Amino acid sequence: MRMRPEELDELASLRLRAPRAEPERRLDLRSTVPAPLQCSSLLPGILCPRRVSVNRSPLPFAAVARTWGELLGDERAGDDGDEQRGGMLSRLRDSLSRSRQALTAELAAATFDPGNTADWERLEEALIAGDVGVPATAELVRRLEARGELPDLGAALAEEIESLFGEPSRLQLGGEPTVILVVGVNGTGKTTTIGKLAFRLREHGHSVVVAAGDTFRAAAEEQLGVWAERAGAEFVEGGRGGDPAAVAYDAIERARRDGRDVVVVDTAGRLHTQTNLMEELAKVRRVITSRVEAAPHETLLVVDATTGQNAVQQARLFKDAIGVTGVALTKLDGTAKGGVAIPIAYELGLPVKLIGVGETLEDLRPFDARDFARALVA
């Protein structure tokens, strides 16, 4: 079958935007390091972040929820219980095992000598190679140096990583209805994440309408419909080629009419037409705001952890173009690039609210800074 010119264009934009597996990465600091942070005085290719002073304002959000009850502000839900928490932590450790192995193998924490410059350099390189990013690496090293003694490097690093994430955040619910707009490039896991989130919202007593705002891909609506059914959510679609803003509008009207609590709006990650993705999303956003004051209450960006620094770049673009209130970091299971959560939170000031650790309904978790940091390095 021959492709039409529009389809070729779409394919080209897909290639540009779609996450893909990155080849084993050699550090190319020129592409990832903001110019003022580049440091040429050491060995070529090695940073000297200890000599870089990075002043960051405190993070504008509160850190990370441990339970769904906490994330959703559901006081009645209580604690998940020690046993369940223990299970979740070991599951998280399993999910992050590749990331942890990659980082800790490089760290050589057992033989770390704070008096040895080469050991500090190895630590810096390990963090950069682990997708932690230059500003966060510089800050972590600065804080560790300030400690003076480091009897247990892994534990100290976990504590400092945890504190970079700031205070725990919540999903903002409580609108009438609450509207959650879900954005991100194609294939990152938007639709899947919406299904999992709708399931938890239902579990915590919310009535949920999901809106099939990805009207560009033939299978997208059907896929969301299946997730909605699994989650026990209502489903609003507009038909292939329809206007995503109109679908969001209809879903909000439906929720209003029937007294539903939460509307979750799925969107396309790429477009068939030449319309700019960000313009299209801004339009969906405007329509939502025109229907419900203070909505969308959340603009949730879904990024795929396996894409490493690409995920950070996507977060930067979406944040600048349409505003993002929280990040869902997916596919942490089986990637060695889990460290990307750190620059997303620290460099960009975006709270990671959710993590995806698999493909089933239960495989979405509230992000917990402490557990995450420990599972990553300790």
Ligand X SMILES: Nc1nc2c(ncn2[C@@H]2O[C@H](COP(=O)(O)OP(=O)(O)O)[C@@H](O)[C@H]2O)c(=O)[nH]1
* Piece of the chain touching Mg ion by CB under 5 A; list 85-93, 125-133, 208-216, 283-291: 208-216
Q: Is 244 in the site for ligand X (CB under 6 A)?
A: no
Q: Is 191 in the site for Mg ion (CB under 5 A)?
A: yes
- Site size for Mg ion (CB under 5 A): 4
Least distance in Å: CB of 358 to ligand X? 5
Q: Is 363 in the site for ligand X (CB under 6 A)?
A: yes
Q: Is 215 in the site for ligand X (CB under 6 A)?
A: no
Query: What is the SS3 string spanning the chain?
Result: CCCCHHHHHHHHHHHHHCCCCCCCCCCCHHHHCCHHHCCCCCCCCCCCHHHCCCCCCCCCCEECCCCHHHHCCCHHHCCCCHHHHHHHHHHHHHHCHHHHHHHHHHHCHHHCCCCCHHHHHHHHHHHHHCCCCHHHHHHHHHHHHHHCCCCCHHHHHHHHHHHHCCEECCCCCCCCCEEEEEECCCCCCHHHHHHHHHHHHHHCCCCEEEECCCCCCHHHHHHHHHHHHHHCCEEECCCCCCCHHHHHHHHHHHHHHHCCCEEEECCCCCCCCCCCHHHHHHHHHHHHHHHCCCCCCEEEEEEEHHHCHHHHHHHHHHHHHHCCCEEEEECCCCCCCHHHHHHHHHCCCCCEEEEECCCCCCCEEECCHHHHHHHHHC
Residues 259-288 that bind ligand X (CB under 6 A): 269
Which two structure tokens, joined as six digits, stand for 106? 């490089």
- Site size for ligand X (CB under 6 A): 18
Alpha-carbon gap, residue 137 to 262, rounded angstroms = 38
Q: Is 338 in the site for ligand X (CB under 6 A)?
A: no
Q: Is 358 in the site for ligand X (CB under 6 A)?
A: yes
Q: Is 336 in the site for ligand X (CB under 6 A)?
A: no
Q: Is 296 in the site for ligand X (CB under 6 A)?
A: no
Among 331, 353, 370, 374, binds ligand X (CB under 6 A): 331
- Residue closer to Mg ion by CB (options 169, 191) is 191
Q: Closest residue (Cβ) to ligand X?
A: 356
For 207, the 3-state DSSP assignment is coil
Which two structure tokens, joined as six digits, stand for 101? 């192995």
* Piece of the chain touching ligand X by CB under 6 A; list 65-73, 98-106, 186-194, 200-208: 186-194
Least distance in Å: CB of 322 to Mg ion? 17
Residues 6+ apart with CB under 8 A from 345: 59, 164, 165, 166, 351, 352
Among 137, 192, 215, 307, binds ligand X (CB under 6 A): 192
Least distance in Å: CB of 226 to ligand X? 11
Among 121, 261, 333, 347, binds ligand X (CB under 6 A): 333
Please state whether beta strands 352-356 and 364-366 pair in parallel, antiparallel, or not at all (unpaired): antiparallel
* Piece of the chain touching Mg ion by CB under 5 A; list 81-89, 165-173, 210-218, 280-288: 210-218
* Piece of the chain touching ligand X by CB under 6 A; list 8-16, 40-48, 232-240, 328-336: 328-336
Least distance in Å: CB of 256 to ligand X? 26
Question: What x/- string results for residues 140 through 179 when contact with Mg ion is judged by CB under 5 A?
Answer: ----------------------------------------
Least distance in Å: CB of 314 to Mg ion? 15
Among 154, 168, 184, 244, binds ligand X (CB under 6 A): 184
- Residue closer to Mg ion by CB (options 160, 214) is 214
- Residue closer to Mg ion by CB (options 99, 215) is 215
Would you call the peptide bond into 296 cis, given omega within 30 degrees of 0 as the criterion?
yes
Report the interface residues with ligand X, using CB under 6 A: 184, 186-192, 269, 302, 330-331, 333, 356-359, 363
Report the interface residues with Mg ion, using CB under 5 A: 190-191, 214, 220
